[in-house]
Structure 1
Amino acid sequence: MDYTIRPVEPGDAPGIAALRRMPGVFENTLGLPSCRTADSAAFLASLGPNDHNFVAAAEDGTIIAAAGLQVCSNPRMRHVGSIGLFVHTDYQNQGVGTALMKAILDLADNWLMLVRVELEVFADNERAIRLYEKFGFEKEGLLRMTTVRCGQYADEYKMARLRPAVGYAVKPSV
């Protein structure tokens, strides 16, 4: 399977909207099945300098996955970024998510010098949790009843990957 990972473009809005409302994808994101192309176009148009979004595009141009990294804008938290990732159901378990994670984390580590990268994932999304753990993410806590999904409240894990920087103040043990 051949695909290209590249930064998002305004013309990606229809493909991203199709992914965001795809059964098997939207249930594990904060998307809705009513996501409109105009919503995705507005999102892409609103991206600022702290937003770094990529897509995986098949040879025919079909958007098969998307990922984003948002760097915290608060000056005291410029070392922190949060990520989101979703993959077309036909391309799950084929390495596309792994490739996007590598691209996002390369940017975070080698260009933005982020120390903390965090995310939230549904507690029952075992495939995604395994992917994140493969990249050094650890569960930091269970967030209970955070989101409505399929008519029920769902729990999420807060996960993060830390790369301590020079000057990291370790809290002394008591």
Structure 2
Amino acid sequence: MKNIVLIGMPSAGKSTVGVIIAKNLGMDFIDTDVLIQTRHGRLLQDILNTQGAGGFLEKEEEAILSLACQNTVIATGGSAVYSEKAMKHLKEDGIVIYLYITMKTVNKRLRNLKTRGVVLSKGQTLEDLYREREPLYEKYADIKLDCSNNSIEDTLEAVHCQLASLS
């Protein structure tokens, strides 16, 4: 089975939904943020604080390009879409699902911005980041699901329905 790649803003539910999808479908699961932390022995926020956004994005691209898996649900970091090379690699063997949420939902869900490891440039607001990333998510998505008002169960059901329609 092809990989299922989840993209979207921080707090869209990529990791939470991804691990349950993997469990329900008997697939492996990889969270690229956890992969980066494990490889470098540091929290994402520590990498951002010491190496900046550019250094972090290099490590993220490296981690994604190193993936050679099948039958795996991959929850990407929200910034994965900044690397065309990484996204091309993920799309080669995967179906990309964009877990879309509104800016209002991001603000409601994202409480720990300073410690979460979100790639923000100096002076950039969360709203700026949202506007910058949204077209990139749209560009790479094979499927877009509006999860703004969804519970985890609703999002899982929507993903399963979309995947079933592809079979």
TM-score by length of 1: 0.33
Larger Rg: 1
Greater share of strand:
1
Greater share of helix:
2
Kindly indicate whether structure 1 or structure 2 has the higher relative contact order, using CA contacts under 8 Å at least 6 residues apart: 2
